[in-house]
Amino acid sequence: MQLDKMDLGIHDFFTYPPVGEDDYAYMFQTAQVRSMETQMLTRTALLDMANASDFTSAAGSLSGTEYTLPSGAGAAELETMLRQRRSAVRRLFEDLMLDERIVEIFRNRNDYANLRLVLRRVLTDKPVGADYSAEGNAPPELLAQAFEEQNYAILPEHVQAAIDQATLAYYQNKSVRQIDFAIDRAEAAYGLERARTVDGNVFLVNLFRIQVDLTNLRTMLRVKSLGADPRDALLEGGFVEMDRLRQGFDLPYEALGALFFATPYHHIVESGAGYLAANGSFLVVEQQCDDYLLGYLRQTMQIASGPQPVIAFFLAKEHEIRTVRLILTAKKNQLDTKLILDRIA
Amino acid sequence: MLANVNATRMELLRLRKRVALASRGHRLLSEKRDEISRQLIKIARDIQPLRQKVETELSQTFRRFMLARASMEPEHTTAALAVPTKKFSMAMQFASVMNVKVPHLLKEIEGEIICYGYATTSGEMDVALLSLERAFDLLIELAEKEKQARLLAVELQMTRRRVNVLEHVVIPEIQETTRYIHDKLSEAERDNTSRLMKITDIIRK
Amino acid sequence: MEFMGIGFALLGAALAVFLSGFGSAIGLAAAAKAATGVLSEKPERYGTLMLLVVLPSTQGIYGFVVGLFVMIKLNMFAGAPIAITWYQGLQILAACLPIAFAGWISGIQQGRTGAAGILMSAKRPEMAFKAGVVYAAMIELYAILGFLVSLLILLMGIPLQAPGVAA
């Protein structure tokens, strides 16, 4: 039964895949995130910010929340504040999560981000540097040491594997992009593999598969608009079949809606491709992808208790921080309100 | 000039030659002036739309980049842009317009401007970088044109001053001097004639 | 044979106390954990959440009361327990089972329902009583039914001879 549930096809669910079972060990944690969810910024608050006349009044509307900025704060203060909020959310998540493996899975994202940076530098003979994120599983000093001494054995095994794949991909045609493609693939595959080993993993596996799908959809549209080489860019393991995505590379934008008609992503593709064709911009497809993911996270309301609401809260909070950054940066640089609304609404 | 001039026939001949030369120079220089201003107007006419195009592209780049950067995690932005793949080198050549050395920029651009994977980056980044790439070509052209216009404008100013000096100072002055020498010489001649007449009178008596 | 009767009866009392206590404890733990989670963010909700937390504790009390009645019936407190047949012992054991099982399962489920109600009241405090308490209280009904049946069988269904008279 469990196995059947884990390997759902694209047609086995209607809008969102299932979120899994209750786990009463997470009663306290669930209660805590549910109360904290009530203090998150509402949609109205975000729209008010986007519609504010300038940066000062947009930042002012955040006073009293955890995103309060001192008056006269600049872009640097904004960035520092948001980074602090993000670290706080990550720390909270790590405290609340009873299962260390889930914490590790999410910390891995930073490992791979560090890896992208260090591999680019090392393979193009630039200094290793020290500006790596400390929020991964492998501390930045270890990473720098491994690359300076060429001693990769001190790194975790999956990181070593990713390094091997990326190096190999780079030397095939000396393209820096290949490093990223290889690491993206390694990250997606490893995330899924780890998620399958965790108990009560239906939610995590489905979450990662959705993320792979959304990345693939965005990639498909980006490759089409760039006229780039579609090889290597797609990630394996999502719900959408590879053939369907490959077919999408050759179809005109208007036909994409029909191609994805039977999938839950129909709306994302249709409105995203329409906006891309009309405005040459990915704002709507990105907004739709975020919306879909948040919709899936919201499905965790169905369960009384478990790791799912905690993960959902964590990801929603990270998304909120990104949205605040987006609106405030846009306001600071006097971008069109319409652009902001296209991105967030 | 009037004071210390030798009122001699030699000097007169010399000055007559100079005035002929000066007026020929004046004619040539004014032709040059007209040509330079024609060229300048042509370049200036190109610059205006070019500048507008560059400005729209750059502001587009800026807007998109802001949106992309704001919607990505800061680490991913750093990683995506850490090692650019686009190589850019420039050389300068000089061409001559109306004997003015104007620079001509030769650029060499290679490599793709998009240097990152898709999974952790925003599509807006692609839009921003492509727009930047387009703006680059225009930007170089604009720089070239603006430098040309500036050099030509300096040259135009200088030529115009020369023409004016020739027209209003040099030529009238020389002409006045010749007139003066001419007057002096005819005076001397009349003086001489009257003296000869006087002497003839004395001898006849 | 007569010791076996007492054995069965005491086993029944033990089951009634420990199974329903077990259910209450698990249920209370779930509800209390949820409540502490909410209280860590919103301490002013203490009063409303209190009721939801204590609801599952009743099952344990019912089990305890049934256990007590068994002992009273056996005249344990007077020093000399009544000697009963193994048949009567089994009857007492059977009488204890309704509250044992009803208390056990309903305690756990009531705790979880209460916890869910607490979680809901984190977002919608106005519904805490209307939905949270009422739903959890519905489960209480079945614990009460089990308790009643156990008690009725024990008090009326099993005639025992007066103390001192040999069976």
Give yes or no for residue B199 having a pLDDT over 90. Answer: yes
Claim to verify: residue A263 and residue A317 sit in the same structural domain: yes
Last residue of a domain, one of A197, A228, A244: A197
Tell me what percent of the residues of chain A surpass a pLDDT of 90: 19
Claim to verify: residue A47 and residue A149 sit in the same structural domain: no
pTM score, whole prediction: 0.83
Q: Which residues partner with B104 through β-bridges?
A: B93
Residue A222 is assigned to a structural domain of this protein: yes
Claim to verify: residue A236 and residue A331 sit in the same structural domain: yes
Q: Shortest Cα distance from A313 to chain C (angstroms)?
A: 14
- Is A226's CB within 8 Å of B126's CB? yes
DSSP secondary structure of chain C: -HHHHHHHHHHHHHHHHHHHHHHHHHHHHHHHHHHHHHHHH-GGGHHHHHHHHHTTHHHHHHHHHHHHHHHHHTT-TTSSPPP--HHHHHHHHHHHHHHHHHHHHHHHHHHHHHHHHHHHHHH-TTHIIIIIIHHHHHHHHHHHHHHHHHHHIIIII---PPTTS--
ipTM for the assembly: 0.82
Claim to verify: residue A232 and residue A260 sit in the same structural domain: yes
- Is A27's CB within 8 Å of C34's CB? yes
> A282: nearest CA in chain B?
B123
Residue C166 has what pLDDT?
42
**Mean pLDDT on B59-85:** 84
Claim to verify: residue A127 and residue A239 sit in the same structural domain: no
Give yes or no for residue C2 having a pLDDT over 80. Answer: no
Last residue of a domain, one of A148, A180, A197: A197
Residue A217 is assigned to a structural domain of this protein: yes
Residue A87 is assigned to a structural domain of this protein: no
Chain A residues touching C34 at Cβ < 8 A: 27-28, 30-31, 305
B96-152 pLDDT per residue, tens:
877 778 888 887 777 777 888 888 888 888 888 888 888 888 888 888 888 888 888
**pLDDT band with cut points at 50, 70 and 90 for residue A213:** very high
Give yes or no for residue C164 having a pLDDT over 50. Answer: no
**pLDDT band with cut points at 50, 70 and 90 for residue A229:** confident
The answer to whether A189 touches A236, Cβ cutoff 8 Å, is: yes
Residue A288 is assigned to a structural domain of this protein: yes
List C-alpha distances in Å: A322 to A5, A193, A283, A317, A343.
Answer: 32, 27, 14, 9, 12
What letter would DSSP give residue B165?
H
Q: Which of A79, A184, A235 to mutate to test the interface with B (most CBs of B within 10 A)?
A: A184
What letter would DSSP give residue B166?
I
Q: What is chain A's mean pLDDT, rounded?
A: 86
Which chains have 3 or more CB–CB distances shorter than 8 Å to chain B? A
- Is C33's CB within 8 Å of A28's CB? yes
Last residue of a domain, one of A197, A216, A236: A197
Please give the Cα distance from A126 to A176 (Å, whole number). Answer: 13
Claim to verify: residue A260 and residue A319 sit in the same structural domain: yes
Name all domains of chain C by residue range, CATH numbers in brackets. 4-156 (1.20.120.610)
- Tally of domains in chain A: 2
Residue A122 is assigned to a structural domain of this protein: yes
Chain B residues touching A176 at Cβ < 8 A: 83, 85, 115-116
- Is C40's CB within 8 Å of A29's CB? no
Claim to verify: residue A32 and residue A181 sit in the same structural domain: no
Which residue of A36, A39, A304 is in closest CB contact with C119? A304
- Is A28's CB within 8 Å of C119's CB? no
3-state secondary structure of B90: strand
Which residue of C40, C115, C122 is in closest CB contact with A27? C115
Claim to verify: residue A212 and residue A317 sit in the same structural domain: yes
Which residue of B62, B73, B123 is in closest CB contact with A222? B123
Classify each residue of C111-129 as buried b or exposed e, where b means 16 or more C-beta atoms within 10 Å of its C-beta: bbbbbbbbbbbbeebeebe
- Domain hosting A320: range is 5-72+201-344
The tokens of A314 are what? Answer: 């964590």
Which residue of B80, B119, B123 is in closest CB contact with A221? B123
Claim to verify: residue A22 and residue A135 sit in the same structural domain: no
Can you tell me which residue has the tokens 């060229």?
B39
Greater pLDDT, A239 or A231: A239
DSSP secondary structure of C58-86: HHHHHHHHHHHHHHHHTT-TTSSPPP--H
Phi/psi at C42 (nearest 5 deg)? Answer: -130, 75
Claim to verify: residue A213 and residue A340 sit in the same structural domain: yes
Residue length, chain C?
167
**pLDDT band with cut points at 50, 70 and 90 for residue B3:** low
What burial class does residue B44 get, using C-beta atoms within 10 Å of its C-beta: 0-12 exposed, 13-18 middle, 19+ buried?
middle
Residue B1 has what pLDDT?
54
What letter would DSSP give residue A230?
-
**pLDDT band with cut points at 50, 70 and 90 for residue C20:** very high
Claim to verify: residue A179 and residue A318 sit in the same structural domain: no
- Is A322's CB within 8 Å of B122's CB? no
Contacts of A153 (CB under 8 A, 6+ apart): A160
3-state secondary structure of A227: coil
Claim to verify: residue A220 and residue A335 sit in the same structural domain: yes
Q: What is chain B's mean pLDDT, rounded?
A: 86
Q: Which residues partner with B110 through β-bridges?
A: B87
Amino acid residing at C164: G
Residue A89 is assigned to a structural domain of this protein: no
Half-sphere exposure of A115 (CA within 13 A, CB side): 32
**pLDDT band with cut points at 50, 70 and 90 for residue C167:** very low
The answer to whether A64 touches C73, Cβ cutoff 8 Å, is: no
- Is B118's CB within 8 Å of A175's CB? no
Residue A92 is assigned to a structural domain of this protein: no
Residue A145 is assigned to a structural domain of this protein: yes
Please give the Cα distance from A134 to A154 (Å, whole number). Answer: 17
Contacts of C70 (CB under 8 A, 6+ apart): C9, C10, C12, C13, C16, C92, C95, C96, C154
